Amino acid sequence: MDASSIKLHDIDKIRKALDFIKLPSLMSLIKRFSLSTLPHSQRIGILAGIAIFTCTVISVILLLFLGGSFDRIKEQAKNGDKPLPHENIRVRENRPLLLERLLEAREWMLRTNYPKKIDVVESEATSNISRTSLLKMLLNVSPPNHNPLQTGAIAPISDDDEIAVAYQKDYVHAYYRSIDKPGAQPIPGHPEALFEAYARAYAGCGTHPKTSYRRSYARVYQMVSCKNSATVDFYEKLFVERPYDLVGRTIRLEPLQADRHVKGLYKVTSGEQYDADEMQYNPSLIWAFLDCGPFQDERQMEQCPELFHRGDGEAAFCIIDSSLNTPCGVIIVTNDDPKNLTIDIDPPIVKLNARGTEIEMEAVFLIMDRLFALGYRRIQMLTDALDYEARKLPARMGFTQEALLIKHRIIKASSRDSVVYGMLNSDWDKGARSLVFGKLHGKSALKVETQKEKGESQLEHHTKRLAERRIMEEEAALEEEEDVGNNTCTTKGSYGHPSS
């Protein structure tokens, strides 16, 4: 007998074995329940009702499983008579945590900034500087063992050994990276200028801002300070005197200091003619929507608490016009809340012909870029609802208008409604920063910057992966050596002595 006949024979056996299992037909069910005597329409209605009931029961059971009702019943039985939390509370408990980088940044800010104060040497020359922790955090780091030459300059931020070692390490790293990719032609008579400028700017940012920000800041500083021999000499001298200032393309930000800045600020905001090309104007064009000013003289401006006497959680900077090397305005940072990684920037107070220009935009850009690089998630700007000129600035910077606060403040004995603008770190990284950078430096510079940062980011990623791989290999080698040593000891213990 062939294999096929044997297979059929086995199938026939199975069929005979299952003959006793017979599913009733629809007609037999109708006869069994005495439905055959009913009219045809009634039989159809009864069968349809049974089918609907069956589907309903199945649906309810599926919803109990899929909707989590059985889980809630179990939880309620577990908790006893305690009421279960609402769904929004359950969603809150399951919200994802912040990135570890942001949590570490928050912990560092709280530990560093509050309640400690900035540690600077007290002197008559520095007694009128609002030395807040926020100001310290935003300024560049001074080189190790730095001694400012200029009278009235701020003393070294810190002489801590850890900061000194980190600065030296970052300086060397950035110096050699700049040699690999100088980015410009060497300056005649200053062969090391390109490398030194990039290195001191990169190291000056400190270790806490993101490396992508540090590279970008260093490239801009290198471009500004290494245009020619004159700029090299100027910025090298400026670095020796004031290494902590934030430097941009058209401006630089200095910590606001009364004896250094009040004369220049009063000159450009008093309404008097301060330049041959300028005319006299009403100072209310600058001070009308602010809680201070106009001022009768320099002394009255110096005594203004909103300018030269900042509280903790605030920082004030003087905006220096790089082309003239003179003060042209003030920018103030307030409401520092590192616990929630939020902070406010007030619209800059600038001279009349600087409103709406690159000077105003770059002052805000330099502060915002560093704040986001340090780990802040939200920056807020509030303007007077009637100050239409000030309301143009957040729109240019890519802020989102979020709310109108009615009767928010009292300014000069009058009620003020405030417009709230917000910028998130995600919006800044995904396009707002590139938008403002392109406006300040041009589209071609933005394209070059994007290409350079892409290459640097890839190199940083590969270097990090290689370092991690090297560490894993070293750990594996150590474990293998330990295993070999343990095996050797075991072998000696078993066979190291002659048998009796």
- Whether the pLDDT of residue 8 is over 70: the answer is no
| Pairwise CA distance, residues 220 & 222, whole Å | 5
**What pLDDT is stored for residue 127 in this prediction?**
43
Enumerate long-range contacts of 289-294, CB under 8 Å, 24 or more apart: 289/383, 289/384, 289/386, 289/387, 289/390, 289/411, 289/416, 290/349, 290/411, 291/411, 291/412, 293/269, 294/269, 294/270
Mean of the pLDDT values across residues 109-127? 53
Enter the tokens of residue 315.
Answer: 């920082």
Whole-angstrom CA distances from 92 to 87, 114, 340 are: 9, 29, 17
Asked: is 245-450 a CATH 3.40.630.30 domain? The reply is yes
Query: By mean pLDDT, which of 47-56, 358-367, 395-404 is the weakest?
Result: 47-56
pLDDT in tens, 129-184: 556 889 989 999 988 876 554 433 444 444 456 778 889 999 999 999 888 877 67
pLDDT grade for 500, boundaries at 50, 70 and 90: very low
- Whether the pLDDT of residue 84 is over 70: the answer is no
pLDDT grade for 309, boundaries at 50, 70 and 90: confident
Matching residue, tokens 């001074």 = 142
Identify which of 206, 213, 196, 199 has the alpha carbon closest to the alpha carbon of residue 141.
206
- Whether the pLDDT of residue 205 is over 90: the answer is yes
- Whether the pLDDT of residue 216 is over 90: the answer is yes
**What pLDDT is stored for residue 407 in this prediction?**
94
pLDDT grade for 125, boundaries at 50, 70 and 90: very low
Residue 274, Cα to own-chain centre: how many angstroms?
A: 40
pLDDT grade for 334, boundaries at 50, 70 and 90: very high
Whether the CB-CB separation of 319 and 350 falls below 8 Å is answered with: yes
Q: Which residue has the higher pLDDT, 39 or 426?
A: 426
**What pLDDT is stored for residue 211 in this prediction?**
94
- The reply to whether omega before 327 is within 30° of 0 (cis) is no
Mean of the pLDDT values across residues 34-45? 73
Output the CA torsion 388→389→391→392 (10° steps). Answer: 120
Task: Concatenate the DSSP letters of all residues of 204-215 into one string.
Answer: HT-SSS-HHHHH
**What pLDDT is stored for residue 400 in this prediction?**
96
Mean of the pLDDT values across residues 316-327? 95
**What pLDDT is stored for residue 497 in this prediction?**
45
Q: Please state whether beta strands 246-247 and 315-321 pair in parallel, antiparallel, or not at all (unpaired).
A: unpaired
Using DSSP, state whether 94 is helix, strand or coil. coil
Instruction: Find the helix or strand (DSSP H, E) in which 430 lies.
Output: none
**What pLDDT is stored for residue 156 in this prediction?**
44
**What pLDDT is stored for residue 69 in this prediction?**
64
Identify the DSSP state of 272: S
**What pLDDT is stored for residue 103 in this prediction?**
83
Query: By mean pLDDT, which of 96-100, 205-209, 281-285, 334-338 is the weakest?
Result: 96-100
Question: What is the rounded average pLDDT for all residues in the chain?
Answer: 82
Q: Please state whether beta strands 251-255 and 315-321 pair in parallel, antiparallel, or not at all (unpaired).
A: antiparallel
Mean of the pLDDT values across residues 95-123? 67
Whether the CB-CB separation of 317 and 129 falls below 8 Å is answered with: no
Mean of the pLDDT values across residues 183-209? 90
pLDDT in tens, 434-470: 999 999 999 999 999 999 999 888 888 888 888 888 8
**What pLDDT is stored for residue 186 in this prediction?**
84
Instruction: Find the helix or strand (DSSP H, E) in which 247 lies.
Output: strand 246-247
Identify which of 367, 277, 353 has the alpha carbon closest to the alpha carbon of residue 321.
353
Q: Which of 15-29, 69-83, 140-154, 198-212 has the highest mean pLDDT?
A: 198-212
Q: Which residue has the higher pLDDT, 38 or 255?
A: 255
